[in-house]
Chains A and B, each alone.
Chain A
Amino acid sequence: MEQSKNLAGVAWTNGSLVGSLNPLNHGFRTSDGQGGYIITNTHTQYKRAKRDADGNIVQGDAEDDVVSNLVVQFHNRDGETVGDAMDVPTTAGSEELASLLRALLHPDDDADEENDTKIKGQVPYAFFAKVTKMIKVRDPSTLELIEKPIKEDIDITDYPSLTHFLRRYRNEVSTEQTLQLTYQPLAVFKVRPVTRCTDTLPGHTDAILHVTYSPDGRHLASGGGDSTVRFWDINTSTPRRTCKGHYDHVLCTSWGRDGVLFASGDKRGHLIIWDPVKGEARGTIKAHSKWITGIDWEPMHRNKSCERLVTSSKDGLAKIWNVRTKRAEATLAGHSDSVECVKWGGEGLIYTASRDRQIKVWNAQDGGGKEGNSRVGVLVRTLVGHGHRINTLAVSCDYVCRTGPFDHHGRVAGVESRDRDSNEWRDVAYRAAVEKYTAFKGSDEPERLVSGSDDNTLLVWHPAIDKRPIKRLTGHQQAVNHIAFSPDARFFASASFDKKIKVWNGRTGDFVNTLTGHVGSVYQVAWSSDGRYLVSASKDSTAKLWEMPSGKKAKETLPGHEDEVYALDWSPSGGSVATGSKDRTLKIWKH
């Protein structure tokens, strides 16, 4: 019973934990490992326990309306139970639950053991409670309103204690039953929040329109209105390569998932593939008849060669390109208006959103589809639901796909990242990417797609299985311009022209938080790689840093640009944020 003190009153014993419904709520009932029961009478202590602002237990009056103890059962994301159901005091918050869970997962872990287990012992967790909600639906046959139970996972990580959660969901959660808690490990590493501008990089002779870090976070590229693509040295903050080749504004840029190639698209519809190290063009493709609105590469876990990408354009088409052969593998035609956004999902599907109010789902691989005989570029389904032009899409696995095989240090586990052309490197990287994606995906949860539109709403879809939206998210007062999923897909943030950012639950789409503070339209948002911070770029010439998910006010304002901030990216290796502005400078922000 040593640890019970450390765990702030959560009782456990070695190995077997037995919890049961305890109608009198008189403390914990646990087995002591020898078969006998120990009953600890902690009732009075927990009845009075209350937390102060720092989360310490203080003595005081507790609300009498919530039970003091609750039986919980932990599950991993595949639905397997971990440990037995056990009785915990409702004063416990996610910290205490996490330490309890750690003890269950690594029972033989002692504090003085080796490093590896130590790290395991520090993994923070997010918890989701299974809640059955009653919602009113119209019965299709009788057209009467009937109550229908709907199971939802509620994120309880940010409630200070279970008591708060129980109060909030008084009608949905029965304290008589076992509370099912699903856990999800959070990032072990922490990204330090950016606070100051360390460098201002002049060079572009017109507005900077797009800024991207490479997947390993070691290179930075920017595309500008001066029709150049520039590669910057991150360590010295100096220009490395200035690449000329475009004849018009470079609108969008994207790094290959393995970091070997770089693609940029311009306003004339030309696509250029660059070698970022040498700064030479590997090929120019006259891809579209009008400007290119988006570029997305195929995720590495689907194809280790990393040579396919998809472009979308104002001319209403999207095209899949093979950059090695420089041929279009497929033309995705079907939209009747400009395609505004394209995403290559993690499940072998391509999503395009258009001004014609539709999202189309396309097969990206030969042998996909339901029967396994579908070809590349075959339309899988059309998602209809928005009432106005669709501006942006976000897929839950965006971040994992973007960083490909690289971890948060920008390294591929197991190899030194020297020779990326070698087959060995590619094989290892491919395995790393697959492993990373599988770990991210967990059980057979479907891929989630969120679309933001000029009708001021967002729609959540399960595009791989359903053509109807799961949920419509309202709240924005003007067009939604950009959406970004957090790296662990727990949340997504939407930036709107109404000067606000809204944060939503990544699983259910429930509203979490509104971030107010910008005095101009918010153009872009970017998450830190640990998902604990968000940074936003706005028309008001500032970027702002927000603490996720609870901070309502900006943690930091990053001033300095003299004009609208158009482009934004947070390095996947965490250290820095880059912003590009209409004032023709690029700024690097660090802790």
Chain B
Amino acid sequence: MPQHEHMERHRKLHGRRFDAEERDRKRTARLAHKRSEFAQKVHGLRAKLYNQRRFKEKATMRKTIAQHNERSNKHANDEAVADGAVPAYLLDREGVSRAKVLSNTVKQKRKEKAGKWEVPIPKVKPVADDEMFKVMRTGSKKNKAWKRVVTKCTFVGDNYTRKAPKYERFIRPTGLRMKRANVTHPELKTSFQLDILVVKKNPSSDLYTNLGVLIKGMIIEVNVSDLGLVTTSGKVAWGKMAQVTNNPELDGCVNAVLLV
């Protein structure tokens, strides 16, 4: 045992050795390993006492750390008011859909005119004519090549009347015709199978729009009367825009998302 502060005196007189800091660092770094080695080796009553002491140390350490962190902790704001206020009679009701009433028809018309849509799929891959159409050779010698067969899914309205087959330039195969679309309501997070009313806009070309070609990213109008959506004037909304989200010719069905 030291009889006096002789170590400090020595340090004051002669200074420390040059690698003192480094040795200290190494020692503390080694300490955890030494402790661990001891904790694993020790058994019996010593182990019990050791673990008790160590547990207390750790608890104090955790508390101290928590105290230090107090200032910088982020607290949940108690004064914040939650969104989505509903009256008392609707609180606590399960399965009540809180879908916002869709934008009114005037707004929709204006957008339609401008032809601008904020849509879920903003960029639509252009489809070239030779991917869209297959040349059909006609004539008895099969030497005419002015007929085209559409290779993608199409929507053909109910009241469509064919031209005389001889003069029909574009053929839309019946096997690839679609009448209904699986439409997802983005806010309700549910999907419905709805009738397609009309193909509104195919960004690649007007020709595709007129032909009713269904490809990914295009705008269709669907019949939403079953959904019970209402305009501000209290009328049931009938037609709503939706954007096709899949490649119908690959999947065999049309998936779309409602534009709210």
Contacts and interface: CB of A to CB of B under 8 A. Distances in A.
Interface string B221-243: 00000001011111010000000
A206 B100 contact: no
Contact of A559 (B81, B91, B92, B234): B234
A46 to B, nearest CB: 47
Given A225-B81, A247-B79, A482 B234 contact: no
Contacts of A225: 81, 84-86
B88 interface: yes
Contacts of B83: 206
Interface stretch (A21-29, A183-191, A561-569): A561-569
Contact of B81 (A227, A391, A482): A227
B89 A523 contact: yes
Contacts of A560: 232-233
A340 B81 CA distance: 23
B92 A207 contact: no
A357 interface: no
B165 interface: no
Which among B78, B81, B90, B233 has the greatest number of chain A C-beta atoms within 10 A?
B81
A294 B101 contact: no
Nearest to B233: A559
Which among B78, B86, B236 has the greatest number of chain A C-beta atoms within 10 A?
B86
Contacts of B87: 209-210, 251, 523, 566-567
B105 interface: no
Contacts of A340: 89
A391 B236 CA distance: 28
Per DSSP, chain B at the interface is loop
Contact size range, B: 20 to 34
B36 interface: no
Contacts of A251: 87-88, 91
A544 B91 CA distance: 24
A294 B232 contact: no
A562 B232 contact: yes
Contacts of A248: 81-82
B104 interface: yes
B100 A563 contact: yes
A254 interface: no
A481 interface: yes
Contacts of B228: 519-520, 540
A291 B82 CA distance: 14
B81 A247 contact: yes
A276 interface: no
A520 B89 contact: no
B105 to A, nearest CB: 12
A267 B85 CA distance: 10
Interface in B10-36: none
A484 to B, nearest CB: 13
A541 B92 contact: no
A542 interface: yes
Contacts of B91: 251, 267, 291, 314
Contacts of A564: 101
Nearest to B234: A542
B164 to A, nearest CB: 45
Contact size range, A: 35 or more
Contacts of B101: 541, 562-564
A557 interface: yes
Contacts of A210: 87
B230 A520 contact: yes
Interface string A207-236: 101100000000000001111000000000
A249 interface: yes
A224 B85 contact: yes
Interface in A272-329: 291-294, 314
A520 B101 CA distance: 11
Contacts of B236: 519
B81 A557 contact: no
A520 B91 CA distance: 18
Contacts of B90: 523, 566
B232 A391 contact: no
B103 to A, nearest CB: 9
Contacts of B82: 248-249
Nearest to B89: A481
Contacts of A294: 88
B232 A541 contact: yes
A501 to B, nearest CB: 15
A541 B78 CA distance: 33
A252 interface: yes
B104 A519 contact: no
Nearest to A543: B234
Interface in B69-118: 78-79, 81-92, 100-101, 104
Contacts of B88: 209, 251-252, 291-294
Given A210-B87, A226-B81, A562 B92 contact: no
Contacts of B84: 225
Nearest to B97: A539
A561 B230 contact: no
A571 interface: no
A210 B89 CA distance: 11
Given A209-B87, A249-B85, A566-B87, A338 B234 contact: no
B81 A519 contact: no
Contacts of B92: 314, 338
A301 to B, nearest CB: 27
A519 B234 contact: yes
Interface in B35-83: 78-79, 81-83
Nearest to A250: B85
A392 B81 CA distance: 27
Given A523-B87, A563-B101, A541 B81 contact: no
Contact of A562 (B78, B89, B104): B104
Interface in A518-575: 519-520, 523, 540-542, 544, 557, 559-564, 566-567
Which among B87, B91, B230 has the greatest number of chain A C-beta atoms within 10 A?
B87
Nearest to A563: B101
B102 to A, nearest CB: 10
A252 B88 CA distance: 7
Contacts of A291: 88, 91
Given A541-B101, A563-B100, A519 B230 contact: yes
A559 B85 contact: no
A340 B91 CA distance: 10
A559 B89 contact: no
A248 B87 CA distance: 12
A227 B78 CA distance: 14
Contacts of A209: 85-88
A235 B232 CA distance: 27
A432 B230 CA distance: 46
A558 to B, nearest CB: 8
A567 B236 CA distance: 21
Contacts of B231: 541
Contacts of B78: 247
Interface of A: 206-207, 209-210, 224-227, 247-249, 251-252, 267, 291-294, 314, 338, 340, 391-392, 481-482, 519-520, 523, 540-542, 544, 557, 559-564, 566-567
13 contacts: A209-B85, A209-B86, A225-B86, A247-B79, A249-B81, A249-B82, A314-B92, A519-B228, A523-B87, A540-B234, A541-B230, A541-B232, A563-B100
Interface of B: 78-79, 81-92, 100-101, 104, 228, 230-234, 236
Across the A-B interface, give the 3 residue pairs with the lowest CB-CB distance, nearest first: A225-B85, A542-B234, A559-B233
Given A206-B81, A226-B81, 9 more contacts: A227-B81, A267-B91, A291-B88, A291-B91, A338-B92, A519-B236, A541-B230, A559-B232, A562-B104
